[in-house]
Structure 1
Amino acid sequence: MSESTRLSVFKTYKLYVGGKFPRSESGRVYEVTTATSASGAAGKGKGRWLANAPLSSRKDARDAVVAARKAFGGWSGATAYNRGQVLYRVAEMLEGRREQFVREVADAEGLSKSKAGAVVDAAIDRWVWYAGWTDKIGQVVGGANPVAGPYFNLSTPEPTGVVTVLAPQESSFLGLVSVIAPVIATGNTAVVVASERAPLPALSLGEVLATSDLPGGVVNVLSGRTAEIAAPLAAHQDVNAIDLTGAGAELAAELETAAADNLKRVLRPRAEDWTADPGTDRMTAFLETKTVWHPTGSLGASGSAY
Structure 2
Amino acid sequence: MNHSDRLSVLKTYKLYLGGAFPRSESGRVYEVTDSKDRWLANAPLASRKDARDAVVAARKAFGGWSGATAYNRGQILYRVAEMLEGRRDQFTAEVAAAEGLSKAKAAAVVEAAVDRWVWYAGWSDKVAQIAGSANPVAGPYFNLSSPEPTGVVAVLAPQDSSFLGLVSVLAPVIVTGNTAVVVAAEDAPLPALSLAEVLATSDLPGGVVNILSGRTAELAAPLAAHQDVNAIDLTGAGAELATDLERAAADNLKRVRRPGPADWAADPGTDRLLAFLETKTVWHPMGV
Judge same fold: TM > 0.5, yes or no: yes
Partner of 1:16: 16
CA shift digits 1:139-167 (9 cap, x unpaired): 11102111112110000000000000000
Q: Are 1:273 and 2:263 matched, yes or no?
A: yes
Aligned to 1:295: 285
2-structure distance, mates of 1:95, 1:142? 33
Map 1:42-191 → 2, pairs under 5 A: 47-191=37-181
Corresponding position of 2:212: 222
Q: Secondary structure at the match of 1:73?
A: helix
Measured against aligned partners, the alpha-carbon deviations of 1:229-253 in whole angstroms (never above 9, x if no partner) come to: 0000000000000000000000000
Match of 1:35 in 2: 35
Is structure 2 residue 32 aligned with structure 1 residue 26? no
| Post-superposition CA distance 1:102-123 (Å, at most 9, x none) | 0000000000000000000000
Q: Structure 2 counterpart of 1:121, which letter?
A: E
Scaled by the length of structure 1, the TM-score of the pair is 0.93
- Counterpart of 1:252? 242
Structure 1 distance, partners of 2:4, 2:158, is 39
For residues 276 and 53 of structure 2, what CA distance do their matches in structure 1 show? 22
Unmatched tracts of structure 1, length 5 or more: 37-46, 299-306
The SS at the match of 1:275 is coil
Residue 302 of structure 1 is matched in structure 2 by: none
Report the aligned-residue RMSD: 0.7
Q: Given residue 291 of structure 1, which amino acid in structure 2 is its aligned partner?
A: T
Instruction: Structure 2 unaligned segments of length 5 or more: list them.
Output: none
How far residue 2 of structure 1 moved from its aligned partner, in angstroms, is 3.4
Residue 241 (structure 1) aligned with residue 250 (structure 2): no
Equivalent residue, structure 2, for 1:211: 201
Q: In the TM superposition, what whole-angstrom CA distance separates every residue of 1:180-214 from its partner, at most 9, and x where no partner exists?
A: 00000000000000000100000000000001100
Shift of 1:5: 2.0
Name the SS of the counterpart of 1:104 in structure 2: helix
* TM-score computed with the length of structure 2 as normaliser: 0.99
For 1:112 and 1:13, the matched residues in 2 are separated by 24
Using the alignment, how far apart are the partners of 1:281 and 1:4 within structure 2? 50
CA distance, structure 2, for counterparts of residue 234 and residue 32 of structure 1: 25
**Displacement of 1:132:** 0.5
Structure 2 residue identity aligned to 1:286:
F
Separation (CA, whole Å) in 2 of partners of 1:73 and 1:274: 31
For the residues of structure 2 that align with 1:57 and 1:164, how far apart are their CA atoms?
A: 15
How far off its partner does 1:3 sit? 2.2
Offset, 1:24: 0.5
Residue identity in the other structure for 2:43: A
Q: How much does 1:177 deviate?
A: 0.3
The sequence identity of aligned pairs, in percent, is 83
